[in-house]
A = this chain, B = another copy of it.
Amino acid sequence: MQFSKSTDYALHALLHLGNSERCNNVGIKELASTLGVSESYLSKIMSKLRQDGLVRAVPGVNGGYELSRSTEQITFLDVIQVIEGRQKLFECSNTDSQQHRLLAEEETAGRDQERSGKCECLVQKVMEGAEQHLHQYLREHTIQSVLDEAFKHGNHETNKK
């Protein structure tokens, strides 16, 4: 259970864009060399970020990528969900087993049965709680918050050239 390298690259790429001068898009060459990763692979990741609306891209001479929202509006959760997908952290298999008949909440068979169509396992319930906590934390951390932290510690090297 680990986040993929792609998530790593995506986060660092967005940080680089966020740290760059506004209205000055940066190409895949610069991005790749800064992160220490191949252009071909990184461009795959950037495409994904574009498809989900986190960055804009313009081809052609002096083209490149730029953030499509402000750095405060791009959370860690956004980035992670784009790269890792939005499936649940945990899903029971064998939901028709004897275990699940025991552990599923009985009241869903009661009057508010139609509220949630599926009969939820208590294990699943705990894990969904975990996921919600995790998401909340990741929503509270943005590209900007990391940049703030970096500047606070005295790394004042912006990318102006």
Binding site for B on A (CB under 8 A): 1-5, 7-8, 11-12, 15-16, 19, 33-37, 76, 80, 84-85, 87-94, 96-99, 102-103, 105-107, 122-123, 125-127, 129-130, 133-134, 137-138, 141, 146, 149-150, 153-155, 157
Chain B residues contacting A129 (CB-CB under 8 Å) are 137, 141
Neighbour of A123 across the interface among B11, B36, B96, CB < 8 A: B11
Assess the A146–B123 pair: CB atoms within 8 A.
Answer: yes
The residue of chain B having its C-beta at the shortest distance from the C-beta of A146 within the complex is: B122
Assess the A2–B88 pair: CB atoms within 8 A.
Answer: yes
Neighbour of A102 across the interface among B4, B125, B155, CB < 8 A: B155
